[in-house]
Structure 1
Amino acid sequence: MRTGAMGDILHGMPAITALRHALPDAHIGWVVEPHWSPLLQASGTSFPRTPQMPLVDRVHFAETRSWSKRPLSFRTLQSILDLRAELRAEHYDIAIDLQGSIRSAILAKLSGAKQILGPAAPREKQAAWLYRTKVATHSEHVIPQACEIAGALGIPLAPATVSLPLDKDAEIWAASLPCENSIFLAPSAGWGAKQWPADRYGELARRLAANGYSVLVNAVHPQDPLAKAVVRASDGIATPVVAGIAQLIALTRRMKLVVAGDTGPLHMAAALQVPVVAIFGPTDPARNGPYNTTSRVLRDPSSVRDHRRHAAPEAGLLRITVDQVYAAALELLETHA
């Protein structure tokens, strides 16, 4: 059980990949919000464990976004009942809740699994009421924490290298873009406090372009104001790219470097072992920074862990200069030339 969001799903995948290696014949399903399913399966995939769906045998959709909007509607009730029937038809023995929310714990219970594992100190403490096995985690980073939870039945797990789906249409699309010698900037973040300013990304793009690199900017949609602000600040040098998740996977595979804050595209690059420059502020990279890839993590000593959804960039984040990010980027690019 790990329904979203992108970075959280990616953080759970090394543990389940390790579980797959330890139990190659196990039947593994994943409950996910439909929007994030391309992280687990290519479009139209209905067969298990191929390059199009390399990790799990079954993907189950929990329409949690629409449930939240219409919690009392007949459609929501029917969707939940359909998911319950689908899960129970698979006869799962064990449910592993990597999300630690009341909702994910209920989904684990709906699966009908006799054994439900979850963190002893979940994000929402009431979730633990539904766990048969409560797992105390000792690791600081969320990726080995997930290994501790998934391995609590006596299978010691270490984070394994993740394989993301290979979507043929997305690969063809990415091959048509100017990806040679390219750097990808992902300026958005889950909330404003984590978001390094757009004008600094634009200046960074100008400097990188002066060194012969083409710079692409992640755009959430064609009119994305943040991507447009980065392009303006770069004097039109940076190229905005609107990409779905499958396309983002294909594009990231081709990048020489990704520069981002604590956001999904950063964690995707890390999962794909693409070098990253990570710009952190109120969230702690010791807990959820890039893992298992070459990286340079920038965080000002004045930053303090704070997950409140402030709109303005955190003061410590603003102390990270373009000079610092540019130097870190050049260092990685020269190392991997």
Structure 2
Amino acid sequence: MSEHKLISAVLRPFFRKGTGARFSLPDCVRDDSRVLCIDAGCLSDVLFHMPLLTAIRRRCPGAVMDFLMPEKHAALVVPSGLARQCLVYKAAQLNPWRPAFASLLRQVQSGGYDLAVVMSHSPQPALEMAALASGAALRFGPSHEQAWPALNFELRSSPDRYLGDRLRHAAPLFGFCPADLVPRWPLPMDKVRQMAQQVHFHKPNPRQLLVGVDSGLPLTGAAWPLETFQAVARTLSSNLECRVLPLGHPQEQERHARLEVLLSSVPAGLNRDTLLEVVLLLSQCDLFVAGNTDCFHFAVAMGVPAVGLFRPDDPARWRPVPSPRVRLLAPDDTGQVDPDDLVAAVDAVAGDRRRAAGATVVPAAIATEVDASAAIPDTPDAAGAADPAPTPGARDEALP
């Protein structure tokens, strides 16, 4: 007997309600439904499931959503307006042989849920058991050999299909059109406006584009050297008017700080201490450059012009389909990015923003002079108090 089946046998009393429940599609979610959203710890996976959750909220505004999640994501999930309550777990609680796991199952068992969504593309045995213990008739999650009976709605992942588009193929089963599942992360508009004002205050020259750069550890493979992003920033500064801002997960602040030392003319005073602040700042960027990181996928979902630096062996499921806002580049083995390829990619994804801002291409002959003058910080002008309109990637209002 496998360990998975042995644990299931030991914990069978928690699973009686879920195994006997029935459901029907596509009317499985109603206005009085209770939904348990289970966060397995990968922020990109949560982002990829957000279109389904927001579509459910729009169609069934009375539906209650609770999140079972690690504490590190609370700063971003709570302001989304989706969660009635957040049930926080620690990694140690996911050991099925510890009493803390039984306590976790009791906690979700008392919720009276109708739908449980395991937000992951890979197997999560302990959290799938929590979905079964919730008593939900419909338990949605990743497909694998031992998914049943914990999951009774398995979504297969194609190795050649971008994970961000994965749920669109299941939309009709929930009564939605694929177009109803809009990639987005709901942000509170008051916070978006505040961040837009801060960006305007610390970067008052509208001709300068705000370029975010995430040098953090990627979801797959090894991180690019910091010198790769330094060279990217130098190329961008030599070819257009911009301010480059290290922007990534707060847990990697030390690495971002090391990159900031290598750059010049970084806008000061823009807080990046929480996930919410990072995503709000990302929504205000005119361009974002990163490897295969959570922030890169957020940029893609929010419509921020993005250039991804991917390795040849990065799996296809992490590669978004090239679009008017997305381009992927492949640096060489040493991390060098071809400057001409970079400039062409930037012009393809952000050319309209550059023209709207009136940013000009800087001749390479005077690039050194520009870099030297850019080191002088801009002085905010008192006349810049007007509330600038948020960028297209920041128009998502908080859901009720």
Residue 230 of structure 2 is aligned to residue 202 of structure 1: yes
Name the structure 1 match of 2:242. 213
Aligned AA (1:107)? A
State whether residues 262 and 279 of structure 1, in contact with CA within 8 Å, keep that contact through their aligned partners in structure 2.
yes
Call closer, same or farther: CA 1:155–1:137 in 2, change over 3 Å: farther
Partner Cα distance (1:293, 1:39) in 2: 27
Alpha-carbon deviations, 1:119-150, whole Å to 9, x = none? 333xxx43344122334456822233234456
The DSSP-based 3-state class of the residue aligned with 2:146 is helix
5+ residue gaps, structure 2 = 1-37, 355-400
Alpha-carbon deviations, 1:210-260, whole Å to 9, x = none? 4220110126569945324433443x3445864311101221121111111
CA RMSD of aligned residues (A): 3.5
Name the structure 2 match of 1:289. 320
State whether residues 244 and 266 of structure 2, in contact with CA within 8 Å, keep that contact through their aligned partners in structure 1.
yes
5+ residue gaps, structure 1 = 43-51, 301-314
Following superposition of structure 1 onto structure 2, how do residues 1-337 of structure 1 map, counting pairs within 5 Å?
Answer: 1-42=38-79, 52-53=80-81, 56-67=82-93, 76-77=100-101, 81=103, 83-99=104-120, 100-121=123-144, 125-136=145-156, 140-149=161-170, 152=173, 155=176, 157-158=178-179, 159-166=181-188, 172=194, 175-177=197-199, 178-179=202-203, 181-190=209-218, 193-210=221-238, 211-218=240-247, 224-234=253-263, 236-238=264-266, 242-281=272-311, 282-285=313-316, 287-289=318-320, 294-299=325-330, 318=335, 320-337=337-354
The DSSP-based 3-state class of the residue aligned with 1:131 is coil
Aligned AA (1:115)? L
**In the TM superposition, what is the alpha-carbon distance from 1:113 to its structure 2 partner?**
1.0
**In the TM superposition, what is the alpha-carbon distance from 1:277 to its structure 2 partner?**
0.8
Partner Cα distance (2:219, 2:52) in 1: 27
State whether residues 188 and 195 of structure 1, in contact with CA within 8 Å, keep that contact through their aligned partners in structure 2.
yes
Partner Cα distance (1:25, 1:231) in 2: 46
Aligned AA (2:135)? G
Alpha-carbon deviations, 1:187-212, whole Å to 9, x = none? 11236834222112112212323422
Aligned AA (1:176)? Q
More off after superposition, 170-179 vs 249-258: 170-179
Aligned AA (1:296)? R
Q: Is the radius of gyration larger for structure 1 or structure 2?
A: 2
**Could you tell me the TM-score, scaled by structure 1's length?**
0.74
Aligned AA (1:132)? N
**In the TM superposition, what is the alpha-carbon distance from 1:331 to its structure 2 partner?**
3.5
Call closer, same or farther: CA 1:85–1:67 in 2, change over 3 Å: closer
Call closer, same or farther: CA 1:18–1:222 in 2, change over 3 Å: closer
Call closer, same or farther: CA 1:226–1:129 in 2, change over 3 Å: same
Partner Cα distance (2:156, 2:172) in 1: 12
Partner Cα distance (2:294, 2:250) in 1: 16
Percent identical across equivalent pairs? 18
State whether residues 322 and 328 of structure 2, in contact with CA within 8 Å, keep that contact through their aligned partners in structure 1.
no
Partner Cα distance (1:192, 1:118) in 2: 22
> Number of residue pairs matched?
303
Call closer, same or farther: CA 1:220–1:251 in 2, change over 3 Å: same
**In the TM superposition, what is the alpha-carbon distance from 1:112 to its structure 2 partner?**
1.6
**In the TM superposition, what is the alpha-carbon distance from 1:280 to its structure 2 partner?**
1.3
**In the TM superposition, what is the alpha-carbon distance from 1:3 to its structure 2 partner?**
3.0
